[in-house]
Structure 1
Amino acid sequence: MKTKMRSLLLCFVTILPLLELFANPSGKTHFQWKWATNQVLELNEYHDVLFRVGTKTVEREDKNRVVMKTRQCSQDSCLVNAWFDTYMRYGKTSGPFWKDKEFVSDFTLFRNGRYEVPNEFIMPNLRSFPSFPDSPLSVSDVWKLPAEESFDFSSERIRVKVTPEYTFQGIFPWKEGNYSGNCEKITYTYPIFYSKPESEKMAPNVPYKIFGFATGTVFFNAEKGVPEFKEVKLSYTFIYPNGTVQEANFLVKGVYFLRNQVNAKDKESIREDILNDLIVGYTRDGLPNGKRIQKRQRPGLGDPNQNLEGRLPPQSTEIPEMTDGVTHPDVKENPDPNSPIDDPNQIAEQLPVKVRTTEDGIVFSLDSILFDFNDSKLKVDAESAVAKIAEILKKYPDREIRVSGHTDNIGKKEYNQKLSEERAKSVLHSLVDNHKMDEKHISFRGYADEFPVAPNDSEENRHKNRRVEITLVLD
């Protein structure tokens, strides 16, 4: 039952800017969504969840991340492409988030906030919140517009029509954690009621009655035409044909971020910055095997100590080089000014941390320096590598970070699954406990041998597959 309810009760209110805001000399506010080309609206939600069946209760904390991009806009609507990632942790207070499910959706959002979602998509399951009238609003104005909740059970989808009552409260400040703002505040409330028609067949795992209520607050920046923050309380009661009564309560808080899309060129530029930061870090501290990176300079081309505190420019006068710890002079009596200079990407091949771009963002991959065989405790060299990665990740405080554990295909699937999860959690705990990173932005998941980076046909390749990866999510 809990697994079914996880996929059922995901509480998203996806909002996207569309058109220009109309100035109104009367002092009233005209609410509409704007849209700018190549922008993304990202929503990060946190849910306190309580399930109750009889005297049994389960507490949980969910985290949902929604990324929305437009594919095409017209005068009155936009076609939206969206990704929904869900995470959870039991106990509701602390500990790492486990990455649960992923959903995609294509839907239409009209300029007043009305949704049209094709039947093949589950998300967004809260639709047309909030919706605005065409006419401008004064403080204390009240309006009603139709909306919908969609509940997806194992064998049936139930769509419940609701009619929220909205009130424009004026301009107020909001604050959630490190984020704050000051903009237009809108409150709403509505009852929920559904009863399956007697003519329809009852399914054992699908409720025949749903009732409850919702109260919500949305801080919508009318000048920018985007939402900034929301807080929603949802309460449901589900009655099943066998007499089971289940209650579900959600307290939802969500912060919105408006940003530009990150294309392949942008990702590669970020990867280069990160790679050079790693080279600088290992130049400063040395490598796990005792070797160090030595600066090399063409004779007569400048100060060998410059540029080490930041990104190495394409024509840097110094390039780090792997050595065995002994300085080898590389000065010829008549040096060739056109001789090749070491490529930072070539140096990176010898670092214990690999960096690559993926569809999701930038991935740091760590292999056997992390753990002893069949162990999930981080080795000393691994702690050093994680410290350098944490130093870089802190430059992106608002970005999602995912830690994934991977194994080769040797051994039982169940054992490898558990081992991959424990190793991912070890890295996550190091980021949070030792390097004070915000655990609300970090999640973990173990994948066993599901995603190899090389065929498991040799010890060398299996070694590559025994790894932990840290993804800096950019999309």
Structure 2
Amino acid sequence: MKISKISSLLLLLTGLLAGNRLEAEVFRFQYVSGAKFRAVAQVDETVIQRYGRQQAVQQSELRYKIAYTIKDVRGETGELEGVFQIANRSTGDAGVYQWSEEHPTAYRRNAYGEMDVPDRYSFPVVRGVPRFPERDVAPGETWVGVGEEVHDFRDSGSGLGVVRFPINVAYQYLGLEEYKDKMFHAIDATYQVYHRFPVSRGLAPEQISGFSAQHLYWDNEKGYLAAYTEEFELVMQLNDGTSWIFRGTASAEVIQAEKMEKEKVAEEIRNSLEKDKVEDSEVRVDEQGITIALHNIRFLPDSSRFVPGEEEKIRAVAEILKRYPDRDVLITGHTALAGTESGRERLSLERARVTARALIELGARREDQIVIRGMGAREPVAGNDTEAGRRLNRRVEITLLEN
């Protein structure tokens, strides 16, 4: 009787183990030439600057928008090109995100996740995550992959340039997990950061340390990382005794971009603007998408407030944008050549901000779908030596982004 029970338990255990192996997966990146994707990452972080017993604390929100295209596929390796756009706002600010930086990139990545990025590119900062083993992996199993972190100090005056160092990433496959009503393969990825920098001239970092704990949602049918969440901390110690601590959380989601029929959409927008009698408007197609330029958009003198009646132009544009709800929007303010450079920059940004707020209030977009920037008088479309030219240069451009 005892033997029979033991045999039954062994058979049950063997069956469970066999079942687990049946759930084993082979994880690989897959590539389709010409496919376009965009990833949107939200970073909420606390930045602490410490010197001795003194410290300053700042809360910030960063929004990364990464648009990339698979340019070519050779065997199991994809060649990708893209651009990282970074926007920010202070935590608690009810305003929209302000454009901050833009970084192009291009790289090769094989089916296992190993990346080859030319030295001239500083993005992506974290490379080779995830990295997959050649074998299949069952739920609960672990492996280790080597990745890389990259930090750009070219503008710091330290002479360090772009610094790259390896990271050893520990992975564990957790099995299937639901994310936004869809099942994905869940993988934990964690690593420690520690790197000492060579002695540099002037103010420079001495060492960087920290950790990253990521929870990955992998689409094994299509072969790409669909989303992730992260907790992180980085501590950078400078040679003057100052420490900078970056601590927070991040999340990201990848979306396959639908191709925009730009010429067709542009013609639809032109017809709508003409029907609504929106004067001094122009529609053009460019690499980013479709731009609606509102020339001579009138604000009160030296102000970011609309002249009464100008809101009707924004209302007409809002109705147009509502027809294309899945596209993010970039709003760029421009000025004529008048006043100081800093004043023009500030005024153009505030005018873009006012336009964005109006579109949000009209229900055309959510705050997280709009990024603003101010170009001052740096991109004139006409001469500033005549009133007609200055009228064209005083404009707000609203770009419906393709990717």
The bucket for the TM-score relative to the shorter chain is 0.7 to 0.9
Give the secondary-structure state (helix, strand or coil) at the position aligned to 2:309. helix
Give the secondary-structure state (helix, strand or coil) at the position aligned to 1:208. strand
Of the three residues 162, 174, 182, the one matched with 2:179 is 174
Q: TM-score, with normalisation over the residues of structure 2?
A: 0.88
- CA distance in 2 between partners of 1:390 and 1:137 (Å): 50
Check the 8 A contact 1:353/1:385 in 2, yes or no. no
Pair 1:433–1:203, CA change in 2 (3 A): farther
Partner residue, 2:33: 37
Q: Which amino acid aligns with 1:409?
A: L
Deviation at residue 436 of structure 1 after TM alignment: 5.9
Check the 8 A contact 2:199/2:206 in 1, yes or no. no
- CA distance in 2 between partners of 1:222 and 1:39 (Å): 17
- CA distance in 1 between partners of 2:265 and 2:115 (Å): 35
Structure 2 counterparts to residues 33-72 of structure 1, below 5 A: 33-54=29-50, 55-72=55-72
Check the 8 A contact 1:39/1:260 in 2, yes or no. no
Pair 1:413–1:195, CA change in 2 (3 A): closer
Check the 8 A contact 2:228/2:252 in 1, yes or no. yes
Deviation at residue 464 of structure 1 after TM alignment: 0.4
Partner residue, 2:5: none
Partner residue, 1:183: 184
Deviation at residue 88 of structure 1 after TM alignment: 0.6
Q: Which amino acid aligns with 2:106?
A: D
Partner residue, 1:429: 357
Check the 8 A contact 2:352/2:374 in 1, yes or no. yes
Higher relative contact order (CA 8 A, sep 6+): 2
Structure 1 unmatched ranges of 5 or more: 1-24, 288-349
Q: Which amino acid aligns with 1:117?
A: V
Pair 1:414–1:231, CA change in 2 (3 A): same
- CA distance in 2 between partners of 1:403 and 1:259 (Å): 20
Deviation at residue 399 of structure 1 after TM alignment: 2.1
- CA distance in 1 between partners of 2:356 and 2:216 (Å): 33
Partner residue, 1:252: 250
Check the 8 A contact 2:330/2:401 in 1, yes or no. yes
- CA distance in 1 between partners of 2:292 and 2:64 (Å): 23
Give CA-to-partner distance per residue, 1:53-97, whole Å, 9 cap, x none: 122111110011111112221113122111111101113553111
Of the three residues 147, 150, 158, the one matched with 2:163 is 158
Pair 1:92–1:165, CA change in 2 (3 A): farther
- CA distance in 1 between partners of 2:272 and 2:225 (Å): 35
1:270 has 2:265 as partner: yes
- CA distance in 2 between partners of 1:138 and 1:408 (Å): 63
Deviation at residue 472 of structure 1 after TM alignment: 0.8
Check the 8 A contact 1:406/1:465 in 2, yes or no. yes
Pair 1:215–1:95, CA change in 2 (3 A): same
State the identity %: 24
| 215-224 or 377-386, larger mean C-alpha shift | 377-386
Pair 1:375–1:118, CA change in 2 (3 A): same
1:391 has 2:333 as partner: no
- CA distance in 2 between partners of 1:414 and 1:188 (Å): 44
Give CA-to-partner distance per residue, 1:89-120, whole Å, 9 cap, x none: 11355311110111111111111111111111
Partner residue, 1:330: none
Of the three residues 340, 343, 364, the one matched with 1:412 is 340
- CA distance in 1 between partners of 2:97 and 2:358 (Å): 14
Give the secondary-structure state (helix, strand or coil) at the position aligned to 1:33. coil
| 210-219 or 409-418, larger mean C-alpha shift | 409-418
Check the 8 A contact 2:44/2:248 in 1, yes or no. yes
1:382 has 2:310 as partner: yes
Q: Which amino acid aligns with 1:445?
A: R
- CA distance in 2 between partners of 1:260 and 1:432 (Å): 24
Q: Which amino acid aligns with 1:186?
A: I
Partner residue, 2:15: none
Check the 8 A contact 2:319/2:364 in 1, yes or no. no
Deviation at residue 470 of structure 1 after TM alignment: 0.7
Partner residue, 1:401: 329
Give the secondary-structure state (helix, strand or coil) at the position aligned to 2:203. coil
Give the secondary-structure state (helix, strand or coil) at the position aligned to 1:193. strand
Partner residue, 2:14: none
Q: Which amino acid aligns with 1:160?
A: F
Partner residue, 2:194: 193
Give CA-to-partner distance per residue, 1:20-58, whole Å, 9 cap, x none: xxxxx9442221122223211211111102110122111
Of the three residues 219, 237, 246, the one matched with 1:239 is 237
Check the 8 A contact 1:352/1:367 in 2, yes or no. yes
Give CA-to-partner distance per residue, 1:111-163, whole Å, 9 cap, x none: 11111111111011100111111222211121111001111122323222111
- CA distance in 1 between partners of 2:132 and 2:142 (Å): 10
Q: Which amino acid aligns with 1:69?
A: T
Check the 8 A contact 1:61/1:93 in 2, yes or no. no
Give the secondary-structure state (helix, strand or coil) at the position aligned to 2:257. strand
Structure 2 unmatched ranges of 5 or more: 1-20
Check the 8 A contact 1:370/1:381 in 2, yes or no. no
Check the 8 A contact 1:47/1:61 in 2, yes or no. yes
Aligned length: 374
Check the 8 A contact 1:38/1:261 in 2, yes or no. no
- CA distance in 1 between partners of 2:355 and 2:56 (Å): 34
Deviation at residue 251 of structure 1 after TM alignment: 1.1
- CA distance in 1 between partners of 2:203 and 2:171 (Å): 34
State the 4+ residue runs in structure 1 displaced beyond 6 angstroms: none
Structure 2 counterparts to residues 95-174 of structure 1, below 5 A: 95-153=95-153, 154=156, 155-156=159-160, 157-174=162-179
Give the secondary-structure state (helix, strand or coil) at the position aligned to 2:200. coil
Of the three residues 420, 440, 444, the one matched with 2:368 is 440
- CA distance in 1 between partners of 2:388 and 2:358 (Å): 27
Partner residue, 2:18: none
Give the secondary-structure state (helix, strand or coil) at the position aligned to 1:371. coil
Q: Which amino acid aligns with 2:186?
A: K
Q: What is the aligned-residue RMSD (CA, Å)?
A: 1.9
Give CA-to-partner distance per residue, 1:161-184, whole Å, 9 cap, x none: 111111111111124xxxx53211
Pair 1:440–1:112, CA change in 2 (3 A): same
- CA distance in 2 between partners of 1:384 and 1:392 (Å): 13
Give the secondary-structure state (helix, strand or coil) at the position aligned to 1:381. coil
- CA distance in 2 between partners of 1:441 and 1:107 (Å): 27
Deviation at residue 226 of structure 1 after TM alignment: 2.2
Check the 8 A contact 1:139/1:169 in 2, yes or no. yes
